[in-house]
Chains A and B, each alone.
Chain A
Amino acid sequence: MSAILSLKGVVAGYGGGDVLQGVDLELEENSVACIVGPNGAGKSTVLRSISGLLDPRLGAIALDGQRINGRAPAEILAMGISQVPQSNGLFPNLTVKDNVLMGAYIRRRDKAFLHRRYDELAEFFEVLAERGQEKAGNLSGGQRRMVEFARSLMMEPKVVLLDEPSLGLDPKALRMVHESVKRMVERGRSIVLVEQNVRFGLKLADHGIVMESGRVLLDGKAQDVLKNPEMAALYFGGTVKEQLPQVPAVPA
């Protein structure tokens, strides 16, 4: 299968210094890739670089062969990539339905499209049918996560980026998240997820990527990565030193 999303040599940072030191990554179509790694590894930064919230200093990101680095978030969304942020994704003062519809804000004039998509999503995401007119702020953590997922699917994206979807959820809600992601892939989407909960993330994924200090350290089938003894060492007692190419420094 071909790669639907590819990152090559991405170097990016927030002005204080580069967080990503040259990241190479490929997401195969119709699959789930999970990025794990300790704090400060740059996992969320990778997602922000893809969705356009951050502009990479060096390197290239392409969706289906088309360049996306350097474009505005709205453009990237239109091209087919949506993101569910780590926290604060919802608008608690809007209803559940309005929250989901906002996912298609850039296509808001097309009423027929919006209604059709919403009804389709309501079939799978029960919370939309049951509590559509309630304020989103009143929902539990797991239900909110489902609303966020539904919203990210409104534009029928090719790629969905999930930033720590398991954060703050109890086991029952985790199961819901697991099911939803599987369902999304069945419907033809490709997922990149970032996870602190390593077991949850790698169990869900086909492809596992371990990052540390802004670089990719391990990359392979999710099951293999999970069982790799270096994982324990990584979280717990040492950095895996490798010969990695030096990134050109920022000109003074």
Chain B
Amino acid sequence: MRTKTIAMPRAVADWVPPEWVTSRGVRYGIVGVAAILLLVYPLLSDDRYYQNMIILSLVFAVGATGLNIITGYGGYVSLGQGAFIGLGGYTAAILSTKVGGNPFVWVPAAGVVAGLFAALLGMIAMRARGHTFVILTIVFLFLLQIVSINWRVLTNGTAGLTTPLPTWSVDIANWPFYYALLGLLVLSIAMSWWIRRSKFGMGLVAIREDEDKAETVGVNTPVYKILGFVASTVFVGMAGAVYGYYLSFVDPLGMFNILLSVQIILSVLLGGRGTLWGPVLGAFIVEPLNEFANNSLGGGNVRLLVFGGLMALVVLFMPRGIVPAITEFIEGRRTRGRAGLVGERLGAAIELKKRDVPLARPAISAQMLLEVKNVSKRFGGLQAVDGASFGVPQASITALIGPNGSGKTTLFNLIDGTMSLDRGEVWFDGRQIDRMKPWNRAHAGIGRTFQITRLFREMTVLENVVAPVREFKLRQLGADAVSGHEAERAEQLLDFVGMLKYRDARASALSYGQQKLVELAQVLMLDPKLILLDEPAGGINPTLIERMGEVIKELNSRGKTFLIVEHNMPFVLGLCDPVRVLGRGQLMAQGTPLEIQKDPRVLDAYLGEDFAVEEEPVKA
């Protein structure tokens, strides 16, 4: 589709926003002013209409900020967020009418109930991804609605429940609701901010960017997803309790209405998913729009047109939302015409560290760190691996070579857990690992790079290296990932591979060779015993190949074992010992580089299988 560029006046086209626009002071200033305004508004004005609008906006802001955690950070789109408002509303209403007490007392209980349901939904939805997951969340919402309609004993069915009347004086009428919700919003934002900076948050974003890769760097994805889900609903449930009390009436159609979910996700999308303030901004745009459509434009149907149309337009034309669009626009203007840091040629930027003492190669032990025993795997109609057996000695740099289709990458996938084997066993460090999940294998000490690099594109280089999880400790989830101990370690590793200068660059902006180095740093963050490298020298320039070899030797001298798949023969033969040759899915030959070069069977494997031409020609 061809788009016409609209000619703009020079002055406008060339305008560059001044530095201070995105400075910290300005951002804090805007937020501060807004916060103060919100804080004092009820004290200044008695206008019930606008108080109501703000109260409802606050409810949606809490809902959106919560949803942002599983949808914005985690990448799992949920259309069931409204269900948690409903759950919160019903919990407080049921408990206050049946057990007694002011609904405010039951607000924490509402949060707990919401969290429990979220954990349940998370466990159920663990195997679902993409659009299956969205459907499940919709179904969840509708099921709750039907249950609340039919379980009359508990919920009073469609007649609904009336909450106790407010016990405070009319003078301050809405204030308790207003400030309770404001308080909840502050807590939600604080939690969102804290999560984003923590190792847990890195894990969530890693799941969003590339869930399978996240698993291979030690992220226990099911647990992370459930935790993310719970985090996204606890405050929302509490807000639902306050909301129900505010309406003084809860009923199935109002509390479990799909349009609540639509409004919440619209707020997240419009404001900017994955950002801290975007969802709040979105909520404060969408709710007033909602009121306007309802009251001034003619009610329910127009509201549907507005919501539906807005959602379609946002998905089509501004999928990232307002806040990112603005920041990208400003950044784009600022850096126009100037080469960014990542544009520099790699060879110049990396200084090869000179060693004073030549590296000592450790003696190759007889002990095998990794053993592959009679492993087979079939997929896509092909027997990719067919009874392969070999071992990788401790502290060695072992090469795995063979022609295309011999099963090398499949073997890597079977070792790191990306694929499950059909037959055979894999032993690592004395333990059988072929039934272990990928993240547990990472924790056990296996790290792996990919033939085509897989970095978490939207994260910075530093965040990419902080994301891997060495071992799963709940306490460590809260650890600060942006500064602090983990970040320091990541910086050291980046320095080691020569990429420290790029720590704040977005991973998607790096060149191929730069990505390879960062991926290696990621793997090193796991402090692995065995490192699987899939074509480390592929597609990069000779200076970098040399650097790669040096890094490998350095790490090996510190005791790390390597298994390298490569096609670049001089690289392999100069670096590795022993060499394993794969052909047609099984081990064909093994030995030292010299032995391999002279082995006729190896050349055979590369040049291809023959058949007897002298036999009778056969009709196809």
Contact = CB atoms under 8 A, between A and B. Distances in A.
A/B: CB atoms within 8 Å of each other: yes
Interface of A: 16, 38-40, 124-127, 141, 146, 149, 166-168, 171-172, 174-180, 182, 195-201, 203, 231-232, 235-239
B607 A198 contact: yes
Contact of B618 (A175, A199, A236): A175
B539 interface: yes
A197 B382 CA distance: 17
Contact of B539 (A40, A127, A176, A179): A40
Contact of A195 (B381, B603, B608): B608
Given A38-B567, A39-B404, A167-B405, A235 B607 contact: yes
25 contacts: A38-B567, A39-B404, A40-B567, A124-B619, A124-B620, A125-B620, A166-B608, A167-B405, A171-B609, A171-B611, A174-B609, A175-B611, A176-B620, A178-B613, A179-B619, A197-B607, A197-B608, A197-B609, A199-B610, A200-B611, A235-B569, A236-B569, A236-B602, A236-B603, A236-B606
B164 interface: no
A196 B608 contact: yes
Contacts of A235: 569, 603, 606-607
A179 B603 contact: no
Interface string B485-517: 000000000000000000000000000100000
A161 B406 CA distance: 24
A232 B608 contact: no
Chain A interface, DSSP helix/strand/loop, else mixed: helix
A174 B612 CA distance: 10
B597 interface: yes
A17 to B, nearest CB: 8
A216 to B, nearest CB: 19
B342 interface: no
Contacts of A126: 619-620
B573 interface: yes
Contacts of A195: 608
Contacts of B619: 124, 126, 179
Nearest to B512: A16
B42 interface: no
Contacts of B430: none
A174 to B, nearest CB: 5
Contacts of B602: 236
Interface of B: 381-382, 403-405, 512, 538-539, 567, 569-570, 573, 597, 602-603, 606-611, 613, 615, 617-620
Contacts of A237: 569-570, 573, 597
Contact of A198 (B539, B570, B608): B608
A179 B620 contact: yes
A25 B576 CA distance: 37
A39 B615 contact: no
Contacts of A125: 620
A200 B620 contact: no
A174 B611 contact: yes
B615 to A, nearest CB: 7
B488 to A, nearest CB: 34
A199 B603 contact: no
Q: Which 9 A-B pairs have the closest CB atoms?
A: A197-B608, A171-B611, A198-B607, A176-B620, A199-B608, A235-B606, A39-B567, A198-B608, A146-B620
Most buried by A among B403, B602, B615: B403
Given A39-B404, A196-B608, A198-B607, A238 B613 contact: no
B576 to A, nearest CB: 13
Contacts of B404: 39, 196
Given A177-B620, A195-B608, A235-B569, 17 more contacts: A39-B404, A40-B538, A124-B619, A127-B620, A141-B381, A149-B620, A168-B405, A171-B611, A172-B618, A174-B611, A179-B619, A196-B404, A200-B608, A200-B609, A201-B608, A237-B573, A238-B570
Contacts of A167: 405
Chain B interface, DSSP helix/strand/loop, else mixed: loop
Most buried by A among B381, B539, B567: B381
A124 B603 CA distance: 36
Contacts of B613: 178, 203
B568 to A, nearest CB: 9
Contact of B607 (A141, A171, A231): A231
A252 B620 CA distance: 52
Nearest to A123: B619
A176 B618 CA distance: 6
B567 A179 contact: no
Contacts of A232: 603
Contacts of B618: 172, 175-176, 179
B538 to A, nearest CB: 7
A179 to B, nearest CB: 5
B506 to A, nearest CB: 18
A167 B608 CA distance: 11
B381 to A, nearest CB: 7
A146 B569 CA distance: 35
B350 to A, nearest CB: 20
A196 B609 contact: no
A199 B607 contact: yes
A166 B405 CA distance: 11
Most buried by B among A126, A166, A168: A168
Contacts of A149: 620
A176 B609 CA distance: 15
Contacts of B569: 235-238
A196 B403 contact: yes
B159 to A, nearest CB: 52
B607 A179 contact: no
Nearest to A236: B569
B608 A179 contact: no
Nearest to A144: B381
A171 B573 CA distance: 32
A125 B608 CA distance: 26
A16 B2 CA distance: 24
Contacts of B608: 166, 195-201
Nearest to A87: B380
A178 B619 CA distance: 11
Nearest to A137: B381
Contacts of A39: 404, 567
Contacts of A179: 617-620
Contacts of B573: 237
A222 to B, nearest CB: 13
A195 B569 CA distance: 20
A250 to B, nearest CB: 14
Given A40-B538, A196-B405, A236 B620 contact: no
Contacts of B381: 141, 168
B620 A180 contact: yes
A171 B538 CA distance: 32
A225 B50 CA distance: 85
Contacts of B620: 124-127, 146, 149, 176-177, 179-180
Contacts of B610: 199-200, 203
A126 B602 CA distance: 37
B618 to A, nearest CB: 6
Contacts of B609: 171, 174, 197, 199-200
Contacts of A124: 619-620
